[in-house]
Amino acid sequence: MPLLPHGETETEGRVLRGFRLGLELSIIILAVESVGAYFSHSLALTADAIHDLPDLIAFGVSWGAVRATETGVTLESTYGRHRLEVFASLLNAGLILGTGLLFGYAGASALLSGGRSFAGPVDAVWLLAAALPTLGLRAVNISVLGRVPGRVRDLNLRSVLVHLASDLVITGALLVAGVLLLVRPGSGWIDDTAAVVIAFVLVVESLPLFRDSWDVLGERIPRGLSVEKVVATALSVPGVAEVHDVHVWSLCPTLVCMTAHVSVGNMSVQEWGAIATTLRRRMESEFGILHATFEVEPASS
């Protein structure tokens, strides 16, 4: 029995190359920030360095999820392994949220205790020496993944892009803290405040990822799409008299599926087939629904 692809061609080699580059750059960033955190005694930089560990896991899981999707459909997985991408996004979100809560608590505790650094006075030079190259490496990473065409940006890839965008904001907070500490050395509260800001960014970053993942797992109709518009488009196809029992859901955001019953007038089987083909093409071109199944039936007299 032939097994037809279900959107696997949407997974392109550049996505895998981008994830692999992200993994390699994250290793370098972890090394740079770990050295900087050790010598700078900065809580904020330590928070970001430890946050690099979930980055490594996130890129590894995301890369693995895309590779699994590439294997395509099997007799056991007739829709392929697209849902692995959603689970990867959920794991990324959980790691981001956990890191944010942990260091938010640490930064707030340090501020309440008088703004003293957890390991001694912060060395602004070492802080900036780590933050500047980190900014450049992260900018390269997001630039590479940001050039991936929109049509292959699944939830998994979007979660990584959101993660990288927030990483740039975090690096900016580190740079601001480093400059302020150069001007006012010994002001430990600056570094602790930066740690709290970083934690807040991480927590906020995780929330839409949880929401989008839940939308897919809960089989919610994709955001920006409505059953009313889908039905209206179907009814505009000549020969379609009625559309009912419409279901629209996502296996992952690059693979939107739908089923519907379509009532047509008195016509030949060949004409029914032509209508079904037109409906599938309209659904794909207007709504990005790659897998649409229509059950054509005669209209009730």
Taking alpha carbons only, the member of 45, 35, 52 closest to residue 177 is 45
* Structural domain harbouring 248: 227-298
Q: Is the four-CA dihedral 107, 112, 118, 121 of positive or negative sign? A: positive
Render 218-285 in DSSP notation, one character per residue.
Answer: TTPPPTT--HHHHHHHHHTSTTEEEEEEEEEEEEETTEEEEEEEEEE-S--HHHHHHHHHHHHHHHHH
| Amino acid at site 111 | L
Integer Cα distance of 84 and 62 in angstroms: 9
Integer Cα distance of 191 and 177 in angstroms: 6
pLDDT of residue 154: 53
Beta bridge partners of 247: 259
pLDDT of residue 159: 64
Pairing of strands 240-252, 289-298: unpaired
Tens-digit pLDDT profile for residues 136-177 = 998 888 887 776 655 444 555 666 677 778 888 889 999 999
Distance, CA of 31 to chain centre: 25
The dihedrals phi and psi of 56, each to the nearest 5 degrees, come to -60, -45
**Cβ–Cβ under 8 Å, residues 239 and 273:** no
pTM given for the model: 0.72
pLDDT of residue 115: 56
Integer Cα distance of 20 and 63 in angstroms: 7
- Asked whether residue 151 falls in the same domain as residue 237, the answer is no
pLDDT of residue 130: 94
- Asked whether residue 52 falls in the same domain as residue 166, the answer is yes
- Asked whether residue 207 falls in the same domain as residue 268, the answer is no
Ranges of residues in the chain with a pLDDT under 50 are 1-11, 151-153
Given 191, 217, 243, the domain boundary residue is 217
In a domain, 3, yes or no: no
Tens-digit pLDDT profile for residues 247-285 = 998 887 667 889 999 998 888 888 888 999 999 999 988
In a domain, 222, yes or no: no
